[in-house]
Amino acid sequence: MNENALNANVGLKLRSLRLARNIKQTDAAKDLGVSPAYLNLIEKGKRVMPFPLLWKALRYFDQDPEQFMSTLGEGRVDEALAKLLDEPLLKSLDIDPESLQSLSAEPKLAGTVAALFNLYKNTRTQLENVLAQLNAEERARTQSAPGSSAGPGLRFDYSPFDEVSDFLQTHHNYFPELEEQAEALRRDFKLGRLLTSAQMVPLLEERFGYRVRFESAASGSSVVRRFDPENQELILSPDLTEQPLKFQLAASIGLMVLDREKLVERIVGAVRTRHAETQRLIKVNLANYFAGALMLPYGDFFKEVERTRYDVELLSNLFGTTYETVAHRLCNLSDPKRRGLPFHFLRSDIAGNISKRYSGTGIKFATGGGSCGKWAVHLAFLNPSQITRQYSMMPDGTSYFCFAKVQLQPIEGSIVRGTAYSIGLGTHAENAKYLAYGLPTTDLRKDAVPSGISCRFCERTDCNQRAAASYRFAFSFDEYTKKDCFFSPLLVHEAGRGEHRNGEGRNGHGNGNGEHRESQREPPRVESLDKPSRRRNN
């Protein structure tokens, strides 16, 4: 234990002894023969406790010196503050136990800090719930009347990531300035098709004056790349294998090019963003785009894409990069003179969380999280060693050909410790014939898997995979009639006659006037909020 921590522990324990005996600080200082201000500094751990004074204080508080000294290393922290050590926010602020020990010397302040932090957490949770509810109601309102003149409305859950996605959509995920910069670097350094990390390290040093150094991150940290502008160093994790190492080096070069050429300002222009973080996220995406352009040069890559018929696995082997990197690059082929097929891109984990998405085909993604369980990107986890392929048909009749593959990166031989992602690509169904993975079909409506955007916004009335009721239907159910999935809406003609409803048998009671209530003879109606219901005449 260092000297500061020892002083803090001594002061904290003496203060605890004094408070336990209800002795005022001024009275204790008088009895010990010191000033109240000096005793206050001692209790806060800001002054060294002289041994004669400590001995006198222990006799004053009737404490055994040996027992007192043996407990100094325990470093007790206020219980409320100790719980905060595990909070992600405090971890990000790097508040160590010794700092909390010092804070524990002020009981009222410690309690106030803990109370305020918990109040912040509760308020944040309530705000997120309210925004989620408002957003759901707004989406339901605007989508319930597609023919109305109502605008898109506010997007209460419009995050910086959504803003970046819209930015990429606006530019069709194609940035010729970055393509030119990447091509110029390849030409200046005479780089071949298979780019290696050993080739990129001299490029960083000669062109940008940065030295590459490998250093393990601090214990508990997962940082794999860090710039040190003061020493002109790029520090990388020694645990990076060749393919991720190449990408980190290429993305680092991309950041330097963006800064030197002021490309972010030129590309983004005068566009105003809603979130302060959006500009930095755009910069990260542009740096990653540059990395793809450097490792997979447009001309050579496009030629091989057409030759191999978009065989992502083969392309990853030809260019010595990952399946995901090639899948990303396929979404960049929007040069008017050499345009590739339009693709949408998804990256999902085994729980169905989508961490990356791009719509080059016009497919709509749910903004509130979640997606259709019938999509190939999710089904790929059932056969992780193979490419999962399927035709998918949306409720409006739009059809796609989708394929996905699981990419595993174990750590210490464990997938749980590592990562497992499914990388999904999709294009319009008529483009399947141009793909090496394409499936033959003579009847698309028969072969396509019925799917949707997400359960909350799906118009399908019969889906055995539904996980929630749709906002597009007024949710109601008949306890006597059941579909194969509880959340599928029950249509008017599908419901039971209702003779046994509300405890009434075949000879059910009337309304007291010898008349049966008409409402009890009618089946329950579940009507679409988007379209007029088609009622069947009985």
CA dist 481 and 537 (Å) reads 20
Distance of CA 229 to the CA centre of its chain: 29
Average pLDDT over every residue of 451-468 = 86
Say what the pLDDT of residue 499 is: 44
Neighbour-count burial of 511, counting CB atoms closer than 10 A to its CB (0-12 exposed, 13-18 middle, 19+ buried): exposed
Say what the pLDDT of residue 507 is: 41
Mean pLDDT for all residues in the chain = 81
pLDDT over 90 for what percent of the chain? 46
**Distance separating the N- and C-terminal Cα atoms of the chain:** 86
CA dist 237 and 214 (Å) reads 6
The more confident residue out of 70 and 347 is: 347
CA dist 193 and 186 (Å) reads 10
Give the sheet arrangement for strand 233-236, strand by strand: 211-214, 233-236, 225-228
**89 bridge partner residues:** none
The more confident residue out of 312 and 220 is: 312
Say what the pLDDT of residue 217 is: 87
For every residue of 78-104, DSSP letters joined together read: -HHHHHHTT-HHHHHTT--HHHHHHHH
The more confident residue out of 307 and 279 is: 307
The more confident residue out of 16 and 222 is: 222
Say what the pLDDT of residue 87 is: 59
Could you tell me whether strands 414-428 and 344-349 are parallel, antiparallel, or unpaired per DSSP bridges?
A: antiparallel
Instruction: Tell whether the model's pLDDT for residue 50 goes beyond 90.
Output: no
Say what the pLDDT of residue 522 is: 41
CA dist 525 and 495 (Å) reads 8
Q: Which of 268-277, 409-418, 503-512 tops mean pLDDT? A: 409-418
Give the least confident one: 222-226, 329-333, 464-468: 464-468
Give the least confident one: 6-20, 38-52, 121-135, 477-491: 121-135
Neighbour-count burial of 289, counting CB atoms closer than 10 A to its CB (0-12 exposed, 13-18 middle, 19+ buried): buried
Helix ranges, 347-504 (H) = 376-379, 444-447
Average pLDDT over every residue of 395-422 = 93
pLDDT digits (tens, 9 = 90+) for 73-122: 554 555 555 566 555 555 555 556 566 666 655 666 666 776 777 677 66
CA dist 529 and 333 (Å) reads 39
Instruction: Tell whether the model's pLDDT for residue 516 goes beyond 90.
Output: no
The more confident residue out of 165 and 174 is: 174
Average pLDDT over every residue of 431-448 = 95
Q: What is the DSSP letter of 226?
A: E
Q: What are phi and psi of 441, to 5 degrees?
A: -155, 140
Helices (H) and strands (E) in the chain, counts: 21, 11
Instruction: Tell whether the model's pLDDT for residue 388 goes beyond 90.
Output: yes
Neighbour-count burial of 44, counting CB atoms closer than 10 A to its CB (0-12 exposed, 13-18 middle, 19+ buried): middle
Yes or no: say if 174 and 335 are a contact pair by the CB < 8 Å rule.
yes
SS3 284: helix
Q: List b or e across 87-119, with b for residues whose CB sees 16 or more CB atoms inside 10 angstroms.
A: eeeeeeeebeebebbbbbbbeeebeebbeebee
Average pLDDT over every residue of 227-232 = 92
Instruction: Tell whether the model's pLDDT for residue 487 goes beyond 60.
Output: yes
pLDDT digits (tens, 9 = 90+) for 257-291: 999 999 999 999 877 888 888 999 999 999 999 99
Residue 316: pLDDT band (50, 70, 90) is very high
Say what the pLDDT of residue 527 is: 44
As given in the structure block, the two tokens for residue 125 are: 């949770």
pTM of the model: 0.68
Average pLDDT over every residue of 422-435 = 97
Rg (CA), the chain: 33
Give the least confident one: 1-5, 258-262, 326-330, 447-451: 1-5
SS3 65: helix
Instruction: Tell whether the model's pLDDT for residue 510 goes beyond 50.
Output: no
Residue 506: pLDDT band (50, 70, 90) is very low
Average pLDDT over every residue of 477-495 = 81
SS3 367: coil
Closest CA relative to residue 292, chosen from 247, 235, 333: 247
Say what the pLDDT of residue 488 is: 84
Instruction: Tell whether the model's pLDDT for residue 346 goes beyond 90.
Output: yes
As given in the structure block, the two tokens for residue 54 are: 């400590």
Neighbours of 373 (CB within 10 A): 17
Amino acid at 137: E
Q: What are phi and psi of 71, to 5 degrees?
A: -95, 0
Instruction: Tell whether the model's pLDDT for residue 501 goes beyond 50.
Output: no
